[in-house]
Amino acid sequence: MEIILRKAANINAEFTAPASKSFTHRAIIAAALSEGRTTIRNPLFSEDTEVTVNALRALGIAIECSPSEIVVEGCAGVMPQCGNQTIDCKNSGTSLRHLVTLSLLSPSKTVLTGTKRMQERPIGALCEALKGCGADIEYLGAAGCPPVSVNGGGFSGGRITIDASKSSQYVSSILICAPYAESAVELMPKGSVASRSYIDLTIAVMRTFGAEVDLTPDGIWKVMPAVYKAPDGVYTVEGDYSSASYFFAAAAVCGGSVTVKGLNPDSVQGDRVFLAALSKMGCRVSVASCGDSPGDPAIKVESDGNLNGIDIDMSSSPDIVQTLCAVCVFAKSPSRIRGISHLRYKESDRIEAIRILTESCGCGFVLRDDVIEIIPSDGGVHGFECDPNNDHRTAMSAAVIGLGCGDVLIRGAECVSKSFPDFWENLKEAGLSE
């Protein structure tokens, strides 16, 4: 599928944010481990969340999906006998990494595999941390990468040290299963933690389902044994700031205004920082009630298209780095984006993807250690052809550039279905694409 973006100017658009992919994954897993039935309202239905649903079904969890909700019959932490399973996680790193620890709770052996790119993505730090507390995990291909074989039968827990410098999902995988360990879990990170805000998101879900999670002054997460149960058996997924960032970015680069409904202004999602970044670059950000739903907040970004460069640390918000870079190419001064080294381990090498997008539209790109510098072009931004390498965020970031300058052709545009299946339709309905 090919999409051509034309230049848009002085836009005035309104969108509803899709549900959060990160919250949906975690809610499904917590519901599967819960006591009784949980109804997950407003979930995100995408390729990635479908992987998690199908994986849990393969592990014996009963899950029913309708257009507006997911109903999960929990196992109270006692995973059913379902025989040995091989689960294809496709290109969903969130699914595979969370399933590594979860598979320890199964009484059988689980092989976790995925696409060629998934088999290149690191998982060794998680597996080695779990092996350190007695888990039986074997690499079936390259050491430190999927596919892996996990022999279930229990998660011992106790003191666990982990290197989470490449992914916060290693920490989240252990934490979300920690209430069902044989003893209290004390999880200690070794060195820096990538994308730390996503751990806050995991903990928020755990607490909603009734778990106790404490962070000690010396940086150790402590989780006591517990059984999950959602309040009244219901969990509602909030809107996604990562997905909404493309709409806000469109307002910034095109001029005009964009309003997005369905976002929690007080969310723990780290990608809320995108709004603060746009404000520093010269946009106006405000929160108001929706006209059709009084009391329901809507977030509005307004811009005259006159943008300043920015110097910002994005180490806790990797999923919006590409979106921010797409805005930075339209700034009148250079931008420095720090804390980006772990972007090499995503669905694609996103540092290389940013370089290609930046240089393809006529701007300068400099990489120094953990810092990207985006240098705007004196001659202005121009169109180009983009192959996103099957990376949803690269495709949507290229769309932002296309709306700002026009004549951007995106090949393989269907890859957005990984996290935002309705992205192109949303742009079309707003009159921003053909």
**Is residue 57 included in any domain, yes or no?**
yes
**Is residue 134 included in any domain, yes or no?**
yes
In 306-430, alpha helices (H):
321-328, 350-360, 392-405, 423-429
The predicted-structure confidence for 370-402, as pLDDT tens digits, reads as follows 999 999 998 889 999 999 999 999 999 999 999
Phi-psi category of residue 157: left, alpha or beta, with phi > 0 → left and psi -120 to 50 → alpha = left
Average pLDDT over every residue of 309-328: 95
Residues 80 and 200 in one domain: yes
By CB atoms closer than 10 A (0-12, 13-18, 19+), residue 67 is exposed
User: Residue 280 belongs to what domain range?
Assistant: 2-18+239-429
**Is residue 244 included in any domain, yes or no?**
yes
| Confidence band of 341 (pLDDT split at 50, 70, 90) | confident
**Is residue 27 included in any domain, yes or no?**
yes
Residues 412 and 398 in one domain: yes
| pLDDT for 295 | 55
As a whole number of Å, the end-to-end CA separation of the chain is 13
Residues 229 and 355 in one domain: no
From 236, 260, 293, the end of a domain falls on 236
CA distance 68 to 304: 37
By CB atoms closer than 10 A (0-12, 13-18, 19+), residue 248 is buried
Instruction: Identify the residue whose tokens are 């995108």.
Output: 274
CATH number at residue 11: 3.65.10.10
Using alpha carbons, select from 228, 229, 326, 214 the residue that is nearest to residue 277: 326
Please report, to the nearest 10 degrees, the dihedral formed by the alpha carbons of residues 391, 395, 398, 403 taken in order.
Answer: -160
Average pLDDT over every residue of 353-359: 96
Using alpha carbons, select from 361, 302, 360, 313 the residue that is nearest to residue 335: 313
| pLDDT for 291 | 52
Using alpha carbons, select from 262, 261, 251 the residue that is nearest to residue 302: 251
Catalytic residues: 319
CA distance 400 to 244: 12
Residues 290 and 394 in one domain: yes
| Confidence band of 224 (pLDDT split at 50, 70, 90) | very high
Residues 76 and 13 in one domain: no
Is residue 306 pLDDT above 90, yes or no?
Answer: yes
Q: How far is CA 15 from CA 130, 239, 423, 427, in A?
A: 42, 11, 11, 9
The predicted-structure confidence for 81-124, as pLDDT tens digits, reads as follows 999 999 999 999 999 999 999 999 999 999 999 999 999 999 99
Is residue 141 pLDDT above 90, yes or no?
Answer: yes
Residue 197 token pair: 């805000």
Residues 44 and 188 in one domain: yes
Average pLDDT over every residue of 188-198: 87
CB within 8 A of 359, min separation 6: which ones? 365
**Is residue 157 included in any domain, yes or no?**
yes
3-state class of 302 per DSSP?
strand
Under 8 Å between Cβ of 390 and 350:
no
- The number of distinct structural domains making up the chain is 2
CB within 8 A of 76, min separation 6: which ones? 33, 34, 35, 36, 227
Residues 198 and 347 in one domain: no
Residues 250 and 392 in one domain: yes
Residues 286 and 347 in one domain: yes
In 59-168, alpha helices (H):
93-103, 124-131
**Is residue 434 included in any domain, yes or no?**
no
| pLDDT for 309 | 97
Residues 377 and 310 in one domain: yes
Is residue 166 pLDDT above 90, yes or no?
Answer: no
**Is residue 398 included in any domain, yes or no?**
yes
Residues 295 and 382 in one domain: yes
Strands 136-139 and 148-151 turn out to be antiparallel
From 186, 205, 236, the end of a domain falls on 236
**Is residue 291 included in any domain, yes or no?**
yes
Residues 376 and 314 in one domain: yes
From 236, 270, 290, the end of a domain falls on 236
